[in-house]
Structure 1
Amino acid sequence: MHSQNGGRCGLCGDNFQAPQPRPHEMGGKFGTGTIVASYVSGSVIRVTATLTTNHKGGFTFELCPLAGPGQAETEECFARYPLELATGGTYYTLPNNERGDFAVDLLLPTGVRCSNCVLRWTYVAANTWGNCGDGTSAAGCGPQETFKNCADISIV
């Protein structure tokens, strides 16, 4: 799919070529806007990702506060709200090559409140051999597998 779609996937992990709204995006088959958790603005939240196969690499998280019912998430909205790790930075590097649960503490932005926010997890792997751009090749260089998932939350 990487070469087929120019390295792009849908906002919440669906095939980029699927018609919009894609299945996991707002208005799609699974993008129902059902709130799965509610949090307090400015608080630290724990997010757990379960990896059935560990491809090395790491995670980033973004938030998209929706203005109202039926509003769709956009890449521009996610880009405005990258979430910081409680330990600093915005990129969580997988600490080992094991499969299982990886808990990440995230800092919600102060002042952001929404009855429906979309929380997005992006996992960029680092196990595929590729061109590093400096004349060398190694695992983790070049195009890598990317996985995304979205969850609907509220922030009060």
Structure 2
Amino acid sequence: MFEPAVRQSMWYAKKSCGVPANYNHRWLWCGGKAAMFNAVNKGRCGICGDEFSAAVKHHQAGGKYATGILAASYQPGQLIDVKIKMTANHRGFMTFALCAHNNPSTSPDRECFLKNQLMVNSGERYYVSEGNGLKEMKVQLPEGVTCKQCILQITYTSGNDHGSGPQSAEVQTKDCLDNKENRTSTFYYFLSCYSKNGCGPQETFRGCADICIGAFCPTDKECAKVDDISSGAPTTPPQNPSKPNETETPKMDICRSAGIKQQYYSVQGDAYCKKSCLGKTRADCHRNGYNRIYVDIMTGEKLMSI
């Protein structure tokens, strides 16, 4: 992604800013499929595309490509242009998320991105069209969010491989989850044809772009950094919005992402959370046991995030 430029491609998009060159910037793929799905990583990826368990993550805070240089400045609620240069088409789809972090010296947890899954071309996913070259799309930024440093995360889940079940521990589509459940029946167990392209473990690519959202953001400085911004009060939307009309379920109340907190992660727990909540209202999610089952018995802390 070169507009806005992700950290691994900043050297290419903003050549005058002195960002270290990353000649493999098109291949930031969570350590590769074998590493991503090993016994340690369990299908997880670093928040900005590094291998999840890597001791040094070059694209997160402290890494050589996380320089704090802003890729672009926007306004709250803006429908932004996103441009991606596709050099090897792996089919599949792209998803976008936003974390209002405001601290380039640290890296956020996965939960920050789960709270702000963004719409792309008025849908939850951008399905990759055939062929290579320029791919253009529109991504909707949330209303009421301003930030000196928002991290725009793009995740490209490829669709080349044939299988059943979720594509990774972090990205799943309902058709692949249903496909996995059906294969547990005796009838379908021996039918390899029931698996489908794009389901089961897939290669995953990811990147992070540092952007600024608000009237205080720099617009006339090519290599502006987060730390250069001295004015403006970053804000986030209220956590408890007013009660909606009972006759209508607003889109914002439908769970579009769910997962277990990183420090308590397990494949089973994450899968249970998604099965209980994805596509359901918050009330239905709670009735399915969200509050009752995944609570730390020592502290009472909820272990899952929606």
Indicate whether the TM-score tops 0.5. Answer: yes
**Residue-by-residue CA offset, 1:65-102 (whole Å, 9 max, x unaligned):** 113352322211111111112x4222111122x11121
Q: Does the 8 Å contact 2:37/2:201 carry over to 1? A: no
2:115 maps to what in 1? 80
Runs of 4+ in 1 over 3 A off after TM superposition: none
Gaps of 5+ in 2: 1-34, 165-178, 183-187, 189-193, 215-306
1:153 is matched by which residue type in structure 2?
Answer: I
Say whether residues 1:13 and 2:71 are aligned partners. no
Residue number among 92, 100, 103 corresponding to 1:57 in the alignment: 92
Percent identical: 41
How many Å separate the matches in 2 of 1:10 and 1:68? 18
TM-score (norm 1): 0.91
Q: Does the 8 Å contact 1:26/1:73 carry over to 2? A: no
**Residue-by-residue CA offset, 1:12-59 (whole Å, 9 max, x unaligned):** 111112125x11012222112211110011111011122211111110
Query: In terms of Rg, which structure is larger?
Result: 2
Greater relative CO (CA pairs within 8 A, separation 6+) = 1
**Structure with the higher fraction of residues in strand conformation:** 1
Taking the TM superposition and a 5 Å limit, the aligned residue runs for 1:49-128 are 49-85=84-120, 87-96=121-130, 98-128=131-161
SS for the counterpart of 1:151 is strand
Q: Does the 8 Å contact 1:64/1:81 carry over to 2? A: yes
**Structure with the higher fraction of residues in helix conformation:** 2
Report the aligned-residue RMSD: 1.5
SS for the counterpart of 1:83 is strand
1:148 maps to what in 2? 206
SS for the counterpart of 1:13 is coil
Gaps of 5+ in 1: none
2:24 maps to what in 1? none
